[in-house]
């Protein structure tokens, strides 16, 4: 077992601990609140993530350093995204369908799926398990826009940066030598700067949609990075979970007011 796999196992165990804490604190909210949809879906989503983690840990220990083919944990991850979407949907009041937002969500998801396929060559699962992201992204855009969590400029900035990071995949796959190294540095600077920005925004606003956008960004960044950078993004992904929980609780408190 390589050192990187060991780091991954330790991080996954840590994330599982965080998830257990979050689930244990979310379940009482399901019974105790009037708007039980959000905590119900949130708890189920975290449970899916937790079981998926257990699967990863078992896989990493039993088959270290081997690439996992299509497996059950991917259904867990897909379910997690769908359940979070259902939670977001339950608190989203303005569900107006704007063509531009829908098209952006679909195109952005398709571009991501294309990048995953180019990297892994796994057509079937990348397409199948990528589809829920389109719905998740649309909900995020709608929520961020209608609730005024981000200004118009900030929304444009985040959209353009997300597209830029994806476009950067093309030279990363094609070019070699010093140009490749330069592109790689720019790529990681943008990814981590955006992550920091989303982190600060979600910490300050404690809004469920901003925290979900931060979560989505770390998820997508995990798919696009490898090696040490992957583990840094993974650590950020673990940190998002308490933020998601806090913002979900705030959402419930606001709903009661």
Partner 1 sequence: MIYAENVLFCIAVPFAISLLFTKGSARRFISSFLMGMIICILSAYITGFLKSFSGFNTEDASIFLSPMIEECMKLLSILCYVYVLELSDENIQLSAVGVGVGFATFENCCFILLSGVPQFTYVMVRGASVGVMHIVTLVALAKGMQLLKAYKACSLAGIVGVWSLSVTVHGLYNLLVSKPGVSSYIGYVMPMIGAIILYLINCKSED
As measured in angstroms, the least distance from the Cβ of 257 to partner 1 is 23
Among 59, 197, 203, 231, binds partner 1 (CB under 8 A): 59
Contact 180, 172 (CB under 8 A): yes
Pick 79 or 168: Cβ nearer partner 1: 79
For residue 186, what are its two tokens? 């720019």
What is the C-alpha separation between 205 and 198, in angstroms, rounded?
A: 10
Among 51, 113, 210, 220, binds partner 1 (CB under 8 A): 51
SS3 at position 11: helix
Can residue 47 be called a binding residue for partner 1 (CB under 8 A)?
A: yes
Can residue 158 be called a binding residue for partner 1 (CB under 8 A)?
A: no
Can residue 58 be called a binding residue for partner 1 (CB under 8 A)?
A: yes
Alpha carbon 60 to its chain centroid, in Å, reads 22
Can residue 82 be called a binding residue for partner 1 (CB under 8 A)?
A: yes
* CA contacts within 13 A on the Cβ side of 166: 18
Q: Where are the alpha helices (DSSP H) in the chain?
A: 3-32, 37-62, 72-91, 99-120, 123-146, 152-167, 169-174, 178-205, 208-224, 227-256
Can residue 48 be called a binding residue for partner 1 (CB under 8 A)?
A: yes
Can residue 244 be called a binding residue for partner 1 (CB under 8 A)?
A: no
Can residue 40 be called a binding residue for partner 1 (CB under 8 A)?
A: yes
**What is the DSSP track for 75-86?**
HHHHHHHHHHHH
Interface ranges with partner 1 (CB under 8 A): 36-37, 40-41, 44-45, 47-48, 51-52, 54-55, 58-59, 61-62, 69-73, 75-76, 78-80, 82-83, 85-86
């Amino acid at each position: 077992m390589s050192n990187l796999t060991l780091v991954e196992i330790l991080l996954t165990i840590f994330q599982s601990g965080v998830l257990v804490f979050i689930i244990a604190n979310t379940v009482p909210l399901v019974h105790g609140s009037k708007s039980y949809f959000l905590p119900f879906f949130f708890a189920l989503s975290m449970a899916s993530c937790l079981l998926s983690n257990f699967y990863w840990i078992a896989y990493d220990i039993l088959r270290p350093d081997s690439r996992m083919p299509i497996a059950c944990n991917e259904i867990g991850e897909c379910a997690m995204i769908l359940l979070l979407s259902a939670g977001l949907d339950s608190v989203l009041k303005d569900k107006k369908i704007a063509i531009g937002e829908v098209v952006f969500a679909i195109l952005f998801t398709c571009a991501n799926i294309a990048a995953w396929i180019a990297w892994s060559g796994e057509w079937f699962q990348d397409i199948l398990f990528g589809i829920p992201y389109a719905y998740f992204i649309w909900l995020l855009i709608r929520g961020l826009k209608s609730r005024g969590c981000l200004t118009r400029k900030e929304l444009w900035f985040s959209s353009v940066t997300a597209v830029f990071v994806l476009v950067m995949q093309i030279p990363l796959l094609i070019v070699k030598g010093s140009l490749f190294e330069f592109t790689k540095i720019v790529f990681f600077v943008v990814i981590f700067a955006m992550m920091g920005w989303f982190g600060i925004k979600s910490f300050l606003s404690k809004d469920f949609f901003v925290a979900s956008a931060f979560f989505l960004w770390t998820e997508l960044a995990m798919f696009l990075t490898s090696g040490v950078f992957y583990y840094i993004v993974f650590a950020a992904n673990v940190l998002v979970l308490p933020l998601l929980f806090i913002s979900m609780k705030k959402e419930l408190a606001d709903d009661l007011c």
